[in-house]
């Protein structure tokens, strides 16, 4: 079982926590037939967090175009509620490879949000943090 400390040990100790007014992400979806699509979502001006918007989008895609893999590039790691929603989506769609890469951790000193990151890591979702060259 992987933990967030194992996935991102130096990042967690660097105190690079970020408090943002909105979340923003870019996604790369690869479909079963090899086609790709790219998208952008943000919570600015939208009552839903960007992650929830993406999960709705992916659920709609599944009817006609089944994703094989989804990689989300995020300005901040998901909050606890969004992390839980991503884990539920992943459990319901286990054949879809899911990866999250983010630039900063959202309130990782708060136990609630740290538990959300742990749940993502434990569910088999690939987690990564942008490095200085990205």
The pLDDT tens digits for 65-114 are 789 999 999 988 999 999 999 999 999 998 899 999 998 877 656 677 78
Residue 46 has pLDDT above 80, yes or no: yes
Q: What is the pLDDT of residue 7?
A: 47
Dist. CA 22–CA 72, nearest whole Å = 16
- Predicted model pTM: 0.79
pLDDT attached to residue 134: 63
Q: Where are the domains of the chain?
A: 4-129
**CATH number, domain 4-129:** 3.40.140.10
CA-to-CA dists, residue 93 to 53, 90, 110, 122, angstroms: 17, 5, 29, 16
Contact (Cβ atoms closer than 8 angstroms) between residue 107 and residue 113: yes
Burial label, 76 (beta-carbon count in 10 A; 0-12, 13-18, 19+): buried
- DSSP line for the chain: ---HHHHSHHHHHTT-EE--S--EEEEEEEETTS-EEEEEEE-TTSSS-HHHHHHHHHHHHTTTS-EEEEEEEESSPPPHHHHHHHHHHHHHTTTSEEEEEESSEESTTSHHHHHHHHHHHHTT-EEEE--TT-
């Amino acid at each position: 079982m992987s933990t967030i400390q194992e996935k991102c040990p130096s990042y967690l100790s660097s105190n690079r926590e970020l408090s943002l007014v909105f979340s923003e992400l870019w996604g790369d979806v690869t479909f079963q037939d090899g086609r790709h699509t790219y998208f952008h979502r943000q919570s600015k001006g939208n009552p839903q967090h960007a992650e929830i918007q993406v999960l709705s989008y992916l659920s709609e895609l599944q009817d006609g175009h089944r994703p094989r893999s989804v990689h989300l590039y995020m300005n901040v790691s998901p909050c606890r509620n969004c992390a839980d929603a991503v884990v539920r989506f992943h459990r319901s769609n286990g054949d879809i490879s899911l990866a999250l890469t983010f630039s900063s951790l959202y309130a990782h000193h708060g136990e609630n949000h740290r538990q959300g990151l742990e749940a993502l890591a434990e569910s088999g979702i690939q987690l990564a943090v942008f490095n200085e060259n990205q």
